[in-house]
Structure 1
Amino acid sequence: MDIAKLDRFMQARPAPEEGVRWLAPFEPPLVLEGFAFFEQDGAYRRLPLDSDAVFSRAGRAALTELGTNTAGGCIRFRSSTGRVLVRARLAAACAMHHMPSTGQGGFDCYLRRPGGAWRYAGPSVFGHGETAYTAALWSGGDREEKEFLIHFPLYMGVKEVWVGVDADASVAAPAPRAVSGAAAVYGTSIDQGGCASHPGMAFPAILARALDVQIYNFGFSGNACLEPEMADVLARVPGLRLLVVDAEANAGPLGCLGRLPAFLARLRAACPRLPILVVSAPLGPLEAQQPDRVAQKDAWRAAQRDAVEQARAGGDANIAFLDGRTLWPDGGEEYTVDGVHPTDLGFYFMARGLLPVLLPYLTEE
């Protein structure tokens, strides 16, 4: 069955390009965020180019590959355009079996009218197997000046991207973020955004909109192993006001959670006053199916809490622990795709639980 022939609303429709002006995300007045080392390297990637050899020597080339995924990247601007398009060239075709291409390799768009809140405007819809596409993100038509926010794909590299607006539209810099500086989330596939239906539904992106702050996404799917080399990279992120460490879902099963005290110590040596929040994994549906896993997760949670308490006992007042069981009400049985990776609903609840915890860190001087 070809659903596109039966339902016209599920067709990948080419975006008309007549009368479109194409803008580079990295050129003013557009503002490019989420790539901490873009100014240094000029590439849409989360890890600096000079870390490639370091991770290779450490046997962690997987991090370099995942670092080219663009989770957390975004473009902001104001415009009177009546439509917003994106022209993109991806590193590969989308092929994940449990995550839609709109989340893996798609961009999405939010808009904010004067005095209003962010509203979802739409995703990039493109054909199966395509590695280059032009798509309309929003085509509402009204010419009132609005602020636009475009998120990059979560599980894909982006070789090239252009933003399209009406040729006669005004384009200006966006309003400054309400919170200066930035926060960062380090962790697993859950932090990277697997398996959100579109990029703006990954919980770091939800938090960035709610807090109006730039959040760097350092989620490395299946590879949050608390390496000292990763601590060194995180310590280099400019303007960092808060770091969330959420590695249990990988570091626990892979047997490297014991690295956490050294990882935290290395970060603290480089960043003496940086607030660090260690978050344990929530209980999920797998625990309901396999109760013996609860004891294992209890042990991992206790190990993380102990690491934080030991650091605090040693005089580190800028580190805290959050029990991840508070993030998914009722055990999260309806919040995942496969027992591990959240749906949009799961990400929503994670963001809702984290919001009041992160707010004081970002509003206090």
Structure 2
Amino acid sequence: MHTHIIYRFKKRLVYDLCLLTTLALMGLQAIAQPVRESRLPGRQYINAHDLLLTGRGATVPTLGYNRIDSNLLGAIPHRVAELSKNTAGLQVDFITNSSSISFKWTLDKYSVLPNMTPIAKNGLDLYAFRNDSCQFVATAAATGDRSERTAISHLDGTMRHYRLYLPLYSSLTELYIGIDSGAVIQIPKIEKRPEIVIYGTSITQGASASRPGLAYPAILSRQLDATVYNMGFSGSGKMEPKMAEIIGHMPADLYILDCVPNMTADLIHKRAIPFVRILRKIKPAIPILFMESPIRETSFWDMNMKKRMAAQNKAIYEVFQSLKKEGLKNIYYQSAADLSGHDHEATIDGTHLTDVGFSRLTTIVEKKIREIVPVLFGKASD
């Protein structure tokens, strides 16, 4: 449960004094943060770290936007360490009655990818809670390393809970939420929710959703009302032992292992069983869901790809069966069948899923999750 901290934004020169005086009178404690100057008239900004930042494990230091504790980066492959600075799966929740919402953010480096939209890679994706659901509001596209954009205007002034999804494939150095100078912003009260850790590849990280809120871990978080930790690392989900320790110490009611696309069949046989044993030693009773690789569209034409993908999925199934024979309990399996549909129209490049592909995959995975832990998420519907 989070204590409400209300920031009533005043004029720049008296902001800190007024805030501290008000809080003292209310018997509350807070650290006043400097409000950043804005090129937009009538704007005041609050640091996102003073709001509710979720989507990463409790062991990660509160400052910065890493997904893995920076003290552990030397123990994992360099590429994984670099990708852990991407903000995939991180989100900021806040309540405000502002008539418009703006954002000011700085990227470590603005860049583009050929198979992703600039908004998905570098931008922000705003949702709001309405009629018992979390509904898309607007996006904010980055204009370079530093950006300031108004995402939505002419709101009705209702106190409303918002959720902001951060960039999928970029690193943030700072983020500020901008509201009207006379508006109120609060930290929402959120009860503890079920927690899911998804460890995987570029598809888990979000390639190639059109915007951050449409990556499949983000969709699952809304549909299941759960905290979903996106531990996807593009090209680098390879089940190193240290990664088993890292995710093993994250809070979880379910682990999803979605690494098959990044591993050869031989590497799966070599690493998957030791990885699961490490995870089981840390979390003996938490269910684990093994995921096959979605069918790559190019495998219908490229015979080498077809052979490689079949070998990958065969290898992870053999690992699963071997662990079951050992007597390992509470492990589950999701085959590639139906994950991305059958019309061959679910990818952007033959491998990475579009919004259509992610919607289809999420439907299958959500149903499987409800079958595994119905007590947390409700029974799966037919």
Q: What letter corresponds to residue 290 of structure 1 in structure 2?
A: D
8 Å contact kept, 2:193–2:225 = no
Task: Tell whether 2:294 aligns with 1:275.
Answer: no
Matches within 5 A, 1:45-124: 45-55=66-76, 60-113=77-130, 115-124=131-140
Off by >6 Å, runs of 4+ in structure 1: none
Q: Which residue is 1:167 aligned to?
A: 181
Task: Tell whether 2:217 aligns with 1:204.
Answer: yes
Task: Tell whether 2:48 aligns with 1:25.
Answer: yes
Q: What letter corresponds to residue 157 of structure 2 in structure 1?
A: R
Question: Which secondary structure state, in structure 1, belongs to the residue aligned with residue 337 of structure 2?
Answer: helix
How far 1:39 moved relative to its partner? Answer: 5.2
- Count residues with an aligned counterpart: 338
Per-residue displacement from partner, 1:178-237 (whole Å, max 9, x unpaired)?
x62411111110000012111001111111111111111110001111100111111111
Q: Does the C-alpha gap of structure 1 residues 41 and 75 become closer, same or farther in structure 2, counting only changes over 3 Å?
A: closer
Task: Tell whether 2:348 aligns with 1:344.
Answer: no
Q: 5+ residue gaps in structure 2? A: 1-37, 377-382
**Which structure has the bigger radius of gyration?**
2
8 Å contact kept, 1:41–1:48 = no
Task: Give the percent of matched residue pairs that are identical in Structure 1 and Structure 2.
Answer: 25
Distance 1:327 1:279 in 2: 10
Distance 2:154 2:315 in 1: 51
Matches within 5 A, 1:132-281: 132-176=146-190, 180-237=193-250, 239-252=251-264, 255-258=266-269, 259-281=271-293
8 Å contact kept, 1:41–1:49 = no
Task: Tell whether 2:63 aligns with 1:42.
Answer: yes
Distance 1:339 1:21 in 2: 45
How far 1:287 moved relative to its partner? Answer: 1.9
Task: Tell whether 2:379 aligns with 1:364.
Answer: no
Per-residue displacement from partner, 1:41-99 (whole Å, max 9, x unpaired)?
522011111211212xxxx1111101101100001122212222111000001221221
8 Å contact kept, 1:68–1:157 = yes
Q: TM-score, normalised by structure 1?
A: 0.87
8 Å contact kept, 1:37–1:47 = no
Distance 1:168 1:357 in 2: 47
Q: TM-score, normalised by structure 2?
A: 0.83
Q: 5+ residue gaps in structure 1? A: 1-14
